[in-house]
A = this chain, B = another copy of it.
C-alpha cells in the first residue's frame, strides 16, 4: 500500500515539476525581455506577471523579492563565450576581442549592463552579481593568457588582471563612454599595443 501510494503521488509530482519548470522558464524569459527594454529601474514583477501570464503569487514563490528575480535573470543574460585555441596568444586574444567587439553594439546584455552597473552603485547584492557577470566576461581572456604562460609565450610574472583591463577597457570605454565605433582597426590597434608591451 505504501508503494502504491508513493507511485500514485509520483505521477502528479512529475507533472507538477514540468509545470513548475515551464513557468520558471516563462518568468525568466519575460524578465530578461523587460530588462532589455527598460533596464533595472523600470522593471516590475507586476509587468512580468502580466506579460508571462504567470500569477504574481507564483512568481514570488520562486523569487522572494523583485531583486532576486532581476539578479537571476541578469546572471543568465550573458551567453557563455567559447575559449578559442588558435595556438598563439595573439590569435586567441584577437578571436576573443573581435567577437566581443561585434557583440557590444548588438547584444541585449550590452544594453542592460549599464543599468546593472548603475544599480550596483547603490546595492551590494547587485554589485556581487555584477562582479560575477564580469568575471564570466573576462574568463576566456584569462584562460588564453594562462595558457600562454604555460607555453612560455608569456612570463609567469605577467599581471593577468592588468592585461585583461588593458584589453577590455578600451572596448568598453568606446561602447559606453565615448560612444565611438569599435571597428576591427581599433580592436587590432589595442591588441597590438598591449601584446607589444608584454
Contacts and interface: CB of A to CB of B under 8 A. Distances in A.
B117 A177 contact: yes
Given A166-B166, A196-B196, A179 B131 contact: yes
A39 B172 contact: no
Contacts of A70: none
Contacts of A192: 197
Contacts of A111: 121
Interface string A175-189: 011111000001001
A170 B166 contact: yes
Nearest to A131: B179
Nearest to A197: B193
A44 interface: no
Interface string A108-132: 0001001101101110000100110
A95 interface: no
A8 to B, nearest CB: 52
A174 B118 CA distance: 14
Nearest to A179: B131
Interface of A: 38-39, 41-42, 111, 114-115, 117-118, 120-122, 127, 130-131, 134-135, 137-138, 159, 161-162, 164-166, 168-174, 176-180, 186, 189-190, 192-194, 196-197
